[in-house]
Amino acid sequence: MGMYVSARGWLEIDFKQRNTAEEIVRRHHHDPYSDGWAFPAVPFNWTLYLFYGGDIREAELPWFRQKISELAAMPPVDDDGDRPVGLFLISDERGGAAMWQVRDGSTHERPATALSWLGE
Exposure of 108 in the CB half-sphere (CA atoms within 13 A): 9
Q: With the C-alpha atoms ordered 71, 19, 55, 10, is the resulting torsion angle positive or negative? A: positive
Tell which wins on pLDDT, 67 or 118: 67
Q: What are the two backbone dihedrals, phi and then psi, of residue 12, each rounded to the nearest 5 degrees?
A: -105, 120
Instruction: Quick: pLDDT tens for 23-50.
Output: 999 998 888 888 999 999 887 788 899 9
Looking at residue 10, what is its pLDDT? 97
Name the pTM for this structure: 0.88
Question: Given pLDDT bands bounded at 50, 70 and 90, which one contains residue 117?
Answer: low
DSSP-derived pairing of the beta strands 106-111 and 48-57: unpaired
Residue 113, pLDDT > 80, answer no
How confident is the model over 4-29, as pLDDT tens digits?
Answer: 999 999 999 999 999 999 999 999 88
pLDDT band at 2, cuts 50/70/90? confident
- What residue ranges define each of the domains in the chain, with the CATH number in brackets? 4-119 (3.30.70)
Task: Express each pLDDT in 59-82 by its tens digit.
Answer: 999 999 999 999 999 999 888 888
State yes or no: pLDDT of 118 exceeds 60: no
